[in-house]
Amino acid sequence: METETIEKLLHDPQKPEDLGIPQNILIDILLRLLYNEGNVNFSRISQVMRVPLALEPLLEWLRQEHIIETMQTSASLGPFNYIYKLTAGGTERARDALERSQYVGPVPVPVDVYVRAMELQTQQTRNITMEQMNRVLSDLVLPSDFHRRLGPAVNFSSSLFLYGPSGNGKTTIARKISSLIALMPPIWIPYALTAGGQIIQIHDRLFHTPVPAEQRKQFSNIDGRWGLFQRPSVTVGGELKMEALDLRFDTLAKIYEAPLQLKANGGMFLIDDFGRQQITPIELLNRWIVPLESGIDFLRLRSGQTIVVPFRSLIIFSTNLDPYELADDAFYRRIQMKVGVFSPNEERFRQIFLKVSDQLGMPFDEPSYLYLLDKWYQQPGRLFQAVHPRDLLNIVQALCLYEGVPLELNTERIDEACHSYFVTKG
């Protein structure tokens, strides 16, 4: 049996029936395009709908049925030299199509083809090397063995839980992971899906970054309904609501927008500040309990029809709250790997302080540093945070620039910076 590859699965459709979708969806998109833009040449139709070979016989049939008419632009015959416009009867049909939906764009892909394509593109481990992980973390001051906890989790887990006190780099580490995932081979993602006669828009410019055109050129026979993108990275924080995790029907455009986890398929989905969302951790667990274990998600159309789609991204939860105030053991069993990101000890705090001083071009002053430790950490019993050196030295830099003096650290500026930065009582 011949091995299935992504190139074979996504071969360029030659005829309307090769698209695998009801022909009325294809006709409706074309009629809406002609209604919105008037006289349209074949190049523009192809640019919007992205299936030029499959359109040729359809355009000819619509012309024979007097739904569209053509104007020839040169002596050569053929669809490439025609401008198309609606007839009076075609205009009426286009208005009916606009009642059904406002969607004008790439022809949608059947959901079953999408499922198989995502399975083919996510069946391998992520294969991030130790060298790559160390390189991407090199500008952070972390425990020497930290990469050993993070690397296996990124490569082999479907979910990762980052926890620990605020200000110690959890979000930064998650973004570093995102940059590593972007180094993986790019992924084919359709612009839109169709299921149950409905259109689901999956492409999102916020999350789907196209690869350079030269890289796409080597795949000349790929269905134009699919774009080649960097692995997506979706980040949400306290604004996350339950509606964002389900199909959302746009009552004006009359199409569905894909949920965030569908847009993140093949890449990474970061839930930052976990526990501060507008949905509770328990609600999120109930929504994702099956997807986290099975790798598949269930989405429901307004008609009641349920569609099954892959749940194939690295899900990262990041929180500075007490994990066991958020959820119970049942939740954490379904998150495969947990990595604590804790406050630095005094040795690592000093290393961070020296590194930031060097980055700012500010000479390190030992007496001022010891003064900072004693007055602002040891006496009040304040915990070190990895973010403190950067923030405090940025304030010192701002003070020096304001005074018009060279960058210099002294005890007076330490006090002034700390008074501005730390919240104190009284």
pLDDT, tens digit (0-9, with 9 covering 90-100), for 185-226: 999 999 999 999 999 999 999 999 999 888 887 888 899 999
Looking up tokens 């210099």 gives: 408
422 has a pLDDT exceeding 70:
yes
Mean pLDDT of 369-380: 96
Of the pLDDT bands very low, low, confident and very high (cuts 50, 70, 90), residue 166 is very high
Percent of the chain topping pLDDT 70: 97
* Confidence check: pLDDT of 107 > 80: yes
Choice among 1-15, 32-46, 257-271 with the minimum mean pLDDT: 1-15
Q: Are 84 and 40 in contact (CB under 8 A)?
A: yes
Residue bearing tokens 């949400």: 236
User: What Å distances lie between residue 61 and 27, 29, 44, 67, 167, CA to CA?
Assistant: 11, 15, 19, 9, 64
The answer to whether 340 touches 164, Cβ cutoff 8 Å, is yes
The tokens of 380 are what? 């009040």
118: pLDDT strictly greater than 60: yes
| pLDDT for 330 | 75
Q: How confident is the model at residue 153 (pLDDT cuts 50, 70, 90)?
A: confident
Question: What are 276-314's pLDDT values in tens digits?
Answer: 898 988 888 888 888 988 899 999 999 999 999 999 999
For residues 355-359, give the mean pLDDT: 96
Facing residues of 104 across strands?
A: none
Question: pLDDT: is 2 or 425 the higher one?
Answer: 425
426 confidence band (pLDDT: 50, 70, 90):
low
Average pLDDT over every residue of 238-265: 95
Q: What is the pTM of this model?
A: 0.89
The C-alpha atoms of residue 218 and residue 297 are separated, in whole angstroms, by 33
Looking at residue 73, its pLDDT comes to 63
pLDDT over 50 (residue 31): yes
**The predicted structure's pLDDT at residue 21:** 96
Whether 74 has a pLDDT exceeding 80, the answer reads: no
Residue 161 parent element (H or E): strand 159-163
Q: Are 291 and 261 in contact (CB under 8 A)?
A: yes
Reading the block at residue 134, the tokens are 């160390």
Question: Domains, the chain, ranges and CATH?
Answer: 22-104 (1.10.10.10), 113-340 (3.40.50.300), 346-421 (1.10.8)
pLDDT exceeds cutoff 60 at 1? no
